């Protein structure tokens, strides 16, 4: 029996500084061996320190990840492109039918204002929502594998 190729997943947001980076980190850890994750931004900014800190609280190190610009060529090579904000969804080009486009509308924690404690709490809420979505996504992939369905038709 041939081994399956990892599912290639690109997570896209505007800045590639928080939401998409956290999703990439969770996909890398929870999808180890079965998923090849990447992230990108329409207007990449530096990795947000609060994203790094709240992911470390979950034992996921994203400190070495870097912000990268969105590339249509890269997106076309993926099995899934997941946009995590309205801006990225609106700016994502039409992709071939072989690339599944999912949208997870998540508020941007990098826009949070207030005390350090409040901002960190907003990042934790975002992290927890992303973790739930990633786990659900991966469960969908696993269910499709068990049912013999094509991965490209999942979710």
DSSP 11-39: EEESSSSSHHHHHHHHHHHHTTTTEEEEE
Among candidate residues 36, 41, 43, 61, the one with its CA nearest the CA of residue 51: 61
pLDDT confidence of residue 143: 79
pLDDT confidence of residue 39: 97
Over range 50-73, report the average pLDDT. Answer: 97
Rg (CA), the chain: 15
Over range 51-77, report the average pLDDT. Answer: 97
Strand ranges in 27-149 using DSSP code E only, listed in sequence order = 35-41, 80-83, 100-103
Catalytic center residues: 13, 85, 92
pLDDT confidence of residue 10: 98
Residue 151 has pLDDT above 70, yes or no: no
pLDDT confidence of residue 4: 76
Q: 83 phi and psi, to 5 degrees? A: -95, 140
pTM: 0.90
Q: How many CB atoms lie within 10 A of CB 63?
A: 13
């Amino acid at each position: 029996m041939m081994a399956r190729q990892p599912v290639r997943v690109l997570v896209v947001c505007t800045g590639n500084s928080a939401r998409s980076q956290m999703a990439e980190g969770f996909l890398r850890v929870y999808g180890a061996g079965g998923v090849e994750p990447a992230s990108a931004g329409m207007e990449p900014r530096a990795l947000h320190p609060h994203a790094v800190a709240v992911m470390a609280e979950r034992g996921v190190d994203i400190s070495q990840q870097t912000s990268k610009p969105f590339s249509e060529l890269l997106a076309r090579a993926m099995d899934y492109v997941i946009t995590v904000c309205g801006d990225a969804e609106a700016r994502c080009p039409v992709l071939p039918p072989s690339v599944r486009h999912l949208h997870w509308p998540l508020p941007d924690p990098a826009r949070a204002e207030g005390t350090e404690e409040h901002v960190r709490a907003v990042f934790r809420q975002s992290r927890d929502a992303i973790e739930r979505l990633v786990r659900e996504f991966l469960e969908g992939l696993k269910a499709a594998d068990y049912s013999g369905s094509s991965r490209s038709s999942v979710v």
